[in-house]
Amino acid sequence: MTHFEGSDEGPSYGPWVWSAYKAYNELLREKIKKRFEAKEGPWMDQLAELLVQLVDARWEGGRQGDKTESEIRAKLDQLLAQ
């Protein structure tokens, strides 16, 4: 049986219906992402930058790295309190 033949009840649209649902959900996901980007994008950019700085500070290690890490954590706390 092909997609066109269906069963005794008529043609089978199952795969196409599934594709339509998948496309609908992908579109909705993209629209939600755009809304989050518009609303939260600048804040998330700041968060991402601080997280990268934190990882860099940990890789540097030593006393200077510990001090820098503490400073970055304080900035993160401030940002997350907003």
Residues 33-75 pLDDT 10s? 999 999 999 999 999 999 999 888 888 776 666 778 888 889 9
Output the pTM of the full model.
0.59
Q: Considering Cα of 42, then 43, then 47, then 50, what sign does the dihedral take?
A: positive
Of 3 and 16, the structure prediction assigns the larger pLDDT to 16
Q: Reduced to 3 states, what is the DSSP secondary structure of residue 11?
A: coil
Q: How many CA atoms lie within 13 A of 8 on its CB side?
A: 0
In a domain, 1, yes or no: no
Helix (H) or strand (E) holding 50: helix 14-60
In a domain, 9, yes or no: no
Q: How many domains does the chain have?
A: 1
The domain containing residue 30 runs over which residues?
A: 14-81
Q: Residue 66's pLDDT is what?
A: 72
In a domain, 46, yes or no: yes
pLDDT above 90 (res 11): no
Residue 10: phi and psi, rounded to 5, are 130, -175
In a domain, 30, yes or no: yes
